Amino acid sequence: MASDDAFVQYVVGQIARAGIVTTRKMFGEYAVYVDGKTVGLICDDQFFLKPSASTVVTLGRATAMGPPFPGAKPHCVIDAAPEDVPFVTDLVRATAHDLPLPKPRKPAAKKATRSS
């Protein structure tokens, strides 16, 4: 089941102060980015945050972990936290801080053209 655009906008609004928040639609679901780093996913109208040192320390072992989709690595399931804006903002900001910047993409190789 694809996530509802209204839920995606709700989550983005709740974490807007964590940094520059963007989303990218992928296969009917969404990747969530903060300052260019992928911090989580929105799948089936649930917010999944990548586990990092900050998320584990802040949420503790009691946090629900689960894969956002079959075959994915477990992520922290953020159920009620989006309601607590200061808490979820700090959590997402700390997670983004812990994660490395994505590796730069190599430019696409130019195709050779045939001359007559």
CATH number for the domain harbouring residue 22: 3.30.1460.30
- Mean pLDDT throughout 58-71? 81
Higher pLDDT, residue 78 or 21 = 21
Helices of type H across 1-116: 5-14, 53-59, 85-98
Domain contains 23:
yes
Domain contains 13:
yes
Domain contains 14:
yes
Domains contained in the chain, number: 1
Domain contains 116:
no
Domain contains 87:
yes
pLDDT of 27: 82
Q: How far is CA 25 from the centre of its chain?
A: 11
Domain contains 30:
yes
pLDDT of 62: 55
Domain contains 41:
yes
- What is the length of the chain? 116
Domain contains 108:
no
**pLDDT at 4 > cutoff 80:** yes
* Cα dihedral 7, 8, 9, 15 in deg (nearest 10): 110
48 touches 76 (CB < 8 A): yes
What is the residue range of 48's domain? 5-98
Strand order in the sheet with 75-78: 21-26, 29-34, 37-43, 46-49, 75-78, 65-66
The pLDDT confidence band at residue 58, using thresholds 50, 70 and 90, is: confident
